[in-house]
Amino acid sequence: MLPLFLYVDPHWLTTSRGATVTAYLALFTVYLAYRRFGHGLRHTPASTATTLTLAEPAVAAVLGVTVPGERLPAASWCGPAVLAVGLMLLTVPVEAGERSH
Q: Tell me the pLDDT of the chain (101 aa) as tens digits.
A: 678 778 888 888 889 998 999 899 999 889 998 999 899 889 999 888 888 888 888 888 899 999 998 998 988 889 889 988 988 887 788 776 565 55
74 located within any domain: yes
27 located within any domain: yes
97 located within any domain: no
Domain count, the chain: 2
Domain that holds residue 28: 12-43
Is the pTM above the cut of 0.75?
no
- Helix ranges restricted to H, 1-101: 16-24, 33-42, 46-66, 78-91
- CA 61, 62, 66, 69 torsion-angle sign: positive
65 and 51 in a common domain: yes
Direct distance between the N- and C-terminal alpha carbons of the chain, in angstroms, rounded to an integer: 48
56 and 38 in a common domain: no
Contact 59, 80 (CB under 8 A): no
Instruction: Specify the pLDDT at position 96.
Output: 61
d(CA 99, CA 101): 6
57 and 27 in a common domain: no
Instruction: Specify the pLDDT at position 20.
Output: 94
